[in-house]
Chains A and B, each alone.
Chain A
Amino acid sequence: MELFAKPLPLRLRSIILSVAILALTLTLWELSIPSQKDAGELTEYELLTGGGAPKAGIPPPSEVLSKAWEQLSDPFYDAGPNDKGIGIQIGYSLYRVLTGYFLAAAIAIPLGFLIGMSPLMYKALDPYIQILKPISPLAWMPLALFVIGDSQASAIFVIFICSIWPMLINTAFGVAGVRKDWINVARTHELGSIKTAFTVILPAAAPTILTGMRISIGIAWLVIVAAEMLVGGTGIGYYVWNEWNNLDLTSVIFSILMIGVVGMILDAIFGAVQRGVQYTE
């Protein structure tokens, strides 16, 4: 029994455990569904007729999986305003998130630089940041709809406003914390202020800035679902809401999973960029 003498590597064991948890959850879920269906004959009947009874049961995982297979094999079909592929819906959401997010970055990072470099600006702008930061981004929605008018642009504005704060605060914090020694290196080499900003302060503050950007993209992806539920029309948030109105719980569960997957991918991308600019002193 030499084989069992040495335990498997941690990584392999964790994978085995993950798969086991998944299998167990899916099995329990699958097994629990029929008994629920059997609970009342009415439910069974209504399910068969496809009616939208509020007591409609949770679908079993097998159904969700086949839905996923069906959706993912043709993610970009477009059959009218209320029937678009999951790929198109996610595309809309990503478009709004990235537009609002990069607009926010374009303002937050230069402004954060300014605040971080100047104690005066820091003190002057701090009260505004402290008041604006805790406002739920969705609270801006009515105002945005009124002022901007367009619902698409309003959703982008909500993303903009929710992603600006972590980036602004982290940039200011990172820039203010750049070691005096490194600034002195720039000074003894007679670098101008622009050159110092790009070759010394930016790389020195980059890990902190990227942390802010990563937090922001996470928040933006959380907020877009809620925003699209409000403004409607397109996007993954609208899709979830629409499928709920259709009482298609299979699609609801599937799209919830997709929201998680896309969020994870966004986070992984920013995580990789963050590792790219990381340095050890």
Chain B
Amino acid sequence: MANSFLSIEGLAKRFPSPDSGSEPLTVFEDVSFSIEKGEFVCIIGHSGCGKSTIMNVLAGLDEATEGGVIMNGKEVKGPSLDRGVVFQNYSLLPWLSALKNVTFAVKARHREWSREQVMAHSYKYLEMVGLSGGAELRKPSQLSGGMRQRVSIARAFAIQPELLLLDEPFGALDALTRGTIQDELLKIWRGTNQTVFMITHDVDEAIYLADRILLMTNGPLARVAESVEVGIPRPRSRDEIVEHPDYYKVRNHLVHFLARRSKELAGTKSTLPGGRPETVRFGDDDTTEPERPNVYAINQ
């Protein structure tokens, strides 16, 4: 595993408890997993289990209490332009136009570029997310939520980071906009050799987008319990994906995990060395799907 593109080793995050005497609050511990170059990985878990915290540690914006992150053989210390972040709340700079928000990033990446180069590059990415023809000159407050989201995606993609970190990027969008932007995201990702790590609450979104889905147990004392491989071939189409024989197997597994096992497994230790998640793979002859009744289409 040491030669993985990104490897997360024994991560733990503890917060001192409010009253000094008692034990510190452990949000998660023994979180270890790795991501290969070019992979699209989603992470799912209930609210408060520490997904955003893990992402902030990957981004270098936050420090873990224990453990570390190694990317390309080097330990992650502080933020870097190699890791682009799409924040949950977009985090656009509200005093800059959409275009300027993107040029802000491009200028930071390519300090030696001329104005023309910066503009051309920024427009390329704004057009990629379908924002041009005047909308790019407006301030974020004058854009719709979906447009802001796209600016944020354009900003992160324009710096062409090796690793893209997306924190519930489509959480606030309606189904139609969400679908469009998901497809844009896949298109951009497929055209490059980037690696994506994305937090989501949406099971269907995760199956549609990801190569692999990491499942987190509930906090406190959360961990990444399973790594579910989505073997559905690409390019995937939204209509046909549901007809793939693996689709409902994966979906039921995820829903069952969220509905029941995330709670049952909370606080338990991994049986694998180093706290690595158990790999779950469907479609093979020897399916690793555990025996259980098939009635977990709750939530939907």
Contact = CB atoms under 8 A, between A and B. Distances in A.
A pairs with B: yes
A163 B121 CA distance: 46
B268 interface: no
A191 B108 contact: yes
B94 A189 contact: no
Contacts of B94: 279-281
B91 A181 contact: yes
Nearest to B81: A190
B104 interface: yes
Interface string A258-281: 000000000000000000010111
Contact of A279 (B89, B91, B141): B141
A204 B94 CA distance: 8
A200 interface: yes
Given A189-B104, A189-B105, A184 B80 contact: no
Nearest to A190: B81
B95 interface: yes
Tell me which of B78, B87, B91, B96 has the highest count of chain A C-beta atoms within 10 A of its own C-beta: B91
Interface residues of A, number: 18
A199 interface: yes
A-side interface mostly: helix
B106 to A, nearest CB: 10
Interface residues of B, number: 24
Contacts of A280: 94, 139, 141
Interface in A177-207: 181-182, 184-185, 187-191, 199-200, 203-204, 206
Nearest to B156: A188
A214 to B, nearest CB: 18
B127 to A, nearest CB: 22
B108 A189 contact: yes
A187 B61 contact: yes
Contacts of B59: 188
Given A190-B80, A190-B108, A204 B95 contact: yes
Nearest to B140: A281
B173 interface: no
Contact of A189 (B81, B87, B139, B141): B81
B79 interface: yes
A182 B104 contact: no
A182 B80 contact: no
Nearest to B59: A188
Contacts of A277: 95
**What are the 7 A-B residue pairs with the smallest beta carbon separation, nearest first?**
A189-B108, A279-B95, A280-B141, A181-B91, A188-B79, A187-B79, A279-B94
